[in-house]
Amino acid sequence: MTDATPRAKLLGLPGSLRRNSNSLAVLQGLRDALPAGIGMEIRDLRLPLYDQDLDTPDGPAEVQALRQAIADADGVVIVTPEYNYGMPGVLKNALDWASRPYGKSALIGKPVLVISNSPAFTGGVRAHQQVNDTLLAVSAKLVGGAQVVIGMVGEKVKEGKLADEAVLKFALGAVDKLVAAGGK
């Protein structure tokens, strides 16, 4: 390992596809604030709709790439907004793809940190709960403890990045736990 080799490779998944997404901004802010030795690749979740007929060993290339990225990561950070009191369909769709093949999902035993956010003071906490439930169904290794729930996120994002020092510090504490859960 050289000095430039990250000690831990994280994968960041935003639950929103829009260009100016706060969820993406949270991940970008976190990525830039990670301590030396920890890196994060951010991938968008623009995938075909889950279709079991397409879920074959030579299925959609984007899905294979997502599964491989999860397998290669030491830990996954999911940042979700809340849509209609739940997780966005984009994220559920991606988790359904990632949950397969049954019994061989890259998410099994994978350390995952969930962060929710919203322009409302509620911080997307209902979406957070749904993501946790889905990850439990897949036997991912959820980072427990105090939930990272970011309310009034619009006030905490500057130039496309989470910029609130207190929230960043709190979220980085959870990332530490994620890295430790991956044995790093």
Q: What is the binding site for ligand FMN (CB under 6 A)? A: 16, 18, 21-23, 81-85, 118-120, 122, 124
DSSP conformation class of 31: H
Q: How far is the CB of 23 from ligand FMN (least distance, A)?
A: 3
Q: How far is the CB of 127 from ligand FMN (least distance, A)?
A: 7
Question: Which ranges of the chain does DSSP label H, i.e. alpha helix?
Answer: 22-33, 61-72, 89-98, 125-137, 165-181
As a whole number of angstroms, the distance between CA 114 and CA 80 comes to: 8
For ligand FMN, give the closer residue by CB, 22 or 28.
Answer: 22
For ligand FMN, give the closer residue by CB, 60 or 119.
Answer: 119
Q: How far is the CB of 101 from ligand FMN (least distance, A)?
A: 30
Q: Could you tell me which of 83, 81, 65 has the C-alpha nearest to residue 73?
A: 65
Q: How far is the CB of 184 from ligand FMN (least distance, A)?
A: 28
Q: What are phi and psi of 30, to 5 degrees?
A: -65, -45
Q: How far is the CB of 166 from ligand FMN (least distance, A)?
A: 20
As a whole number of angstroms, the distance between CA 125 and CA 101 comes to: 29
Q: Could you tell me which of 73, 86, 99, 64 has the C-alpha nearest to residue 13?
A: 73
For ligand FMN, give the closer residue by CB, 5 or 84.
Answer: 84
Q: Are 167 and 22 in contact (CB under 8 A)?
A: no
For ligand FMN, give the closer residue by CB, 81 or 111.
Answer: 81
Q: Phi-psi category of 53—alpha, beta or left, where left has phi over 0 and alpha has psi -120 to 50?
A: alpha
Q: How far is the CB of 86 from ligand FMN (least distance, A)?
A: 7
For ligand FMN, give the closer residue by CB, 21 or 28.
Answer: 21
For ligand FMN, give the closer residue by CB, 87 or 106.
Answer: 87
